[in-house]
Amino acid sequence: MRMSDKIKAMFDGLGINPEEIMKLEEKEVSQEEIISLSSPFPALSRYRKYIKFLDELTSLKAWYKYRIRVIVEYFITLADTMVNYDGIYKDKKIIPFPLTDKMKSALRSITDNLTYQQIAQLEAIEAKSDHDTAAITDWIKFIVDQQNIFEITDEETRKERENSLDGFHFGRTSEDVNSPVFAMINRDLFFEYLIPEIIKFQEQLIKYANANNHVTAGLTHGQPAEPTTIAKQIMNTVSAIDTAIRQAFLPFNDKGEHTTLSFPVKTFGAVGNHSDLRSAYPDIDWIENDKRFISALGKGIHLDMMTTQANLYGEYKRIYDAVCTISRHIIKFCNDFWGWTSFQWFRKKRKAGVKGSSVMPNKYNPWRIEGAKKILEKFIVQLEYTSKALIDYPYEGDMGRSIIMRDIGDDFAKFFIALGRIREELDLYELNEDKINQFLKNNPGLVGGSAQTIMKRYQVEGDAYRHIQAIMINPDGSYVSKEEFLKRLRQDENIPEEAKKEILKYSDPINNIGYADELAVTAIKKAQETIRICSDVGYKI
């Protein structure tokens, strides 16, 4: 293969065999790759690896599966209620026969075995009915009939069991399906992915703190203030996030024990009173029926007793607000880390082939963090809008909230993309002790606060603040060098010798970090305990 020296040098710098590049011209491209490359949305192309799991949570197919499960589980609960019903309409049961274990298993397998061809069937029904929940219910009836799940063997049982098909949407409104679905999606999202992702970030920062516990300068107003440690600065973020996790994601149960989040579910009919079911069977405890129904859908959700046609969504807003707060803490850390890289306190590990800039070979950019920060900011705006929009509906409800509910995949995708890229970027850096030490040496004024406090204890005459200021700042406003600071301190006759010795001791930043180490260690232990609790209560850590 003919190749110019310049191109050969280019590939050598990249560490790539050009023949491997040429072979890609013959590569077969998968349908998934074509769809990804053709997508107008970066989340579905460049960043898809971070959010592929959302296919099983917030895709259209996932919504169909969740709704089928809810409708089926409601039917099974209703059937069990009817088995035990011996009231005034016992001869007019909506489901007059008991479901066998085989029937229940067959009903539940409809969700597990859903195919794209079957989705095409229910969408064809929806095209005519113009109502997606009604279409799904009609399609389930069709499947039950086609698969003879009710085991109709003769004419005698046909009418009885065919009429029972109405039990799939008996006394319900669409929100009695969609509310459990939304709660289940949020539960699965938080339990299996979002909280575990936050915990991974916490663990990464704890590892960073342990590996990089170096004395450095704390900055106020962007200027050197007093000594602190990298570990303490990192653990400030970890501690803030830890507090949010405990307050929002680890509530206490009635026994005073930590438990998981629980998302509210609304099931009480068109305006939240269970009027239709109570009219049909006034002697059935429909609240108890719905509690069993919700329990069958798994932990992490609970029945909301006071609703309109919809849940009032205050609990969702509280949980979403906590995620936004955590995101703001992450952004603050990103801003700080970006500053540390600009001071070169952290530097990117050298890796063959990497270009830090398209035109400036003298630098490496923290570009994943820079981009992720903006994505995270956009996530906050979207999620805050969603939490407010869910609450904002007229009277008993309208279609607006349903549209918002179906779009949460787009909201949360940004969180996972951002956090994934931040975590990737952090793995590329290492501590640059030489740069930190040089920074500390260049800023002897870091001892200023301690020095004036010591002088006040010695009751040095005059204004201790102004006295130290004169030692540490030149007439032109520039900071003195360490050598000049030591010289001026030793020559100052107004400061007692014992006070000078103490100030000299604390002028070494390693001796002047207060409780930084102890505070960092305590924060690490507390965060690690939180991680353990999250695992114990059932989050997928």
Looking at the fold, whether 105 and 125 belong to one and the same domain comes out as yes
The whole-angstrom separation of Cα 399 and Cα 397 is 7
**CATH number of the domain bearing residue 145:** 1.10.275
**CATH number of the domain bearing residue 419:** 1.20.200.10
Model-level pTM?
A: 0.93
Q: What is the total residue count of the chain?
A: 541
The whole-angstrom separation of Cα 357 and Cα 355 is 5
Helix or strand (DSSP H, E) at 301: strand 301-303
- Residue 7 pLDDT exceeds 90: no
Which token pair is 90? 């016992």
Q: How confident is residue 135, by pLDDT bands cut at 50, 70 and 90? A: very high
**444 phi and psi, to 5 degrees?**
-65, -20
- Better-predicted residue by pLDDT, 285 or 393: 285
Which token pair is 87? 């009231």
Residue 524 has a pLDDT of: 98
- Residue 387 pLDDT exceeds 70: yes
Domain stops at, among 122, 150, 169: 169
The 10s digit of each residue's pLDDT in 314-367 is 899 999 999 999 999 999 999 999 999 999 999 988 877 677 777 777 667 888
Looking at the fold, whether 181 and 300 belong to one and the same domain comes out as yes
Q: How confident is residue 396, by pLDDT bands cut at 50, 70 and 90? A: confident
Nearest to 343 by CA among 222, 208, 239: 222
| Any domain includes 109 | yes
Which token pair is 438? 């040089």
Displacement of CA 40 from its chain's centroid (Å): 24
Q: Do residues 236 and 330 make contact, with C-beta atoms less than 8 angstroms apart?
A: no
The whole-angstrom separation of Cα 426 and Cα 340 is 12
DSSP for residue 462: S
Q: Do residues 383 and 323 make contact, with C-beta atoms less than 8 angstroms apart?
A: yes
| Any domain includes 116 | yes
Helix axes 116-129, 132-146, angle to 10 degrees: 130
Residue 101 has a pLDDT of: 97
The 10s digit of each residue's pLDDT in 73-89 is 999 999 999 999 999 99
- Number of domains comprising the chain: 3
Task: Kindly state the percentage of the chain with pLDDT values over 90.
Answer: 73
Looking at the fold, whether 256 and 373 belong to one and the same domain comes out as yes
| Any domain includes 30 | no
Residue 393 has a pLDDT of: 85
Residue 288 carries which side chain, given as an amino acid letter? Answer: E
- Residue 483 pLDDT exceeds 80: yes
The whole-angstrom separation of Cα 286 and Cα 283 is 9
| Any domain includes 265 | yes
Helix or strand (DSSP H, E) at 14: helix 5-14
Q: Do residues 51 and 259 make contact, with C-beta atoms less than 8 angstroms apart?
A: no
Looking at the fold, whether 396 and 491 belong to one and the same domain comes out as no
| Any domain includes 40 | no
Q: How confident is residue 402, by pLDDT bands cut at 50, 70 and 90? A: confident
The whole-angstrom separation of Cα 203 and Cα 185 is 26
Looking at the fold, whether 131 and 249 belong to one and the same domain comes out as no
Strands (E) in 173-244, as ranges, are: 215-220, 223-229
Residue 364 has a pLDDT of: 77
Average confidence score pLDDT of the chain? 93
Displacement of CA 228 from its chain's centroid (Å): 30
Q: Strand 223-229 to strand 215-220: parallel, antiparallel, or no bridges (unpaired)?
A: antiparallel
Mean pLDDT of 37-61: 88
Looking at the fold, whether 278 and 310 belong to one and the same domain comes out as yes
- Residue 217 pLDDT exceeds 70: yes
The whole-angstrom separation of Cα 263 and Cα 390 is 14
Looking at the fold, whether 453 and 499 belong to one and the same domain comes out as yes
Q: How confident is residue 45, by pLDDT bands cut at 50, 70 and 90? A: confident
Task: Tell the burial category of 466 from Cβ atoms under 10 Å away from its Cβ (0-12, 13-18, 19+).
Answer: exposed
Q: Do residues 375 and 367 make contact, with C-beta atoms less than 8 angstroms apart?
A: no
The whole-angstrom separation of Cα 428 and Cα 374 is 20
**431 phi and psi, to 5 degrees?**
-70, 140
- Residue 148 pLDDT exceeds 90: yes
| Any domain includes 48 | no
Looking at the fold, whether 198 and 226 belong to one and the same domain comes out as yes
Mean pLDDT of 398-416: 90
Domain stops at, among 169, 194, 211: 169
Residue 365 has a pLDDT of: 81
Residue 212 has a pLDDT of: 92
Q: How confident is residue 308, by pLDDT bands cut at 50, 70 and 90? A: confident
Looking at the fold, whether 310 and 413 belong to one and the same domain comes out as yes
Which of 17-21, 143-147, 330-334, 339-343 shows the lowest per-residue confidence on average (mean pLDDT)?
17-21
Looking at the fold, whether 146 and 63 belong to one and the same domain comes out as yes
The whole-angstrom separation of Cα 492 and Cα 473 is 15
Q: Where are the alpha helices (DSSP H) in 367-432?
A: 367-391, 400-406, 408-426
Look up the domain containing 183 and give its range.
175-350+362-437+519-537
Q: Where are the alpha helices (DSSP H) in 54-115?
A: 55-58, 60-83, 101-112
Residue 477 has a pLDDT of: 84
Helix (H, G, I), strand (E, B) or coil at 265: strand
Q: How confident is residue 404, by pLDDT bands cut at 50, 70 and 90? A: confident
What are the b/e assignments for 76-86, b being 16+ CB within 10 Å? bbbbbbbeebe
Looking at the fold, whether 498 and 378 belong to one and the same domain comes out as no
| Any domain includes 28 | no
| Any domain includes 24 | no
Looking at the fold, whether 367 and 296 belong to one and the same domain comes out as yes
Which token pair is 331? 């952004």
Helix (H, G, I), strand (E, B) or coil at 348: strand
Residue 79 has a pLDDT of: 97
Q: How confident is residue 154, by pLDDT bands cut at 50, 70 and 90? A: confident
Domain stops at, among 169, 201, 226: 169
SS3 per-residue string spanning 453-498: HHHHHCCCCCCHHHHHHHHHECCCCCECCHHHHHHHHHHCCCCCHH
Which of 107-116, 216-225, 303-312, 511-520 shows the lowest per-residue confidence on average (mean pLDDT)?
303-312
- Residue 237 pLDDT exceeds 70: yes
Residue 363 has a pLDDT of: 67
Residue 353 has a pLDDT of: 66
Mean pLDDT of 386-397: 87
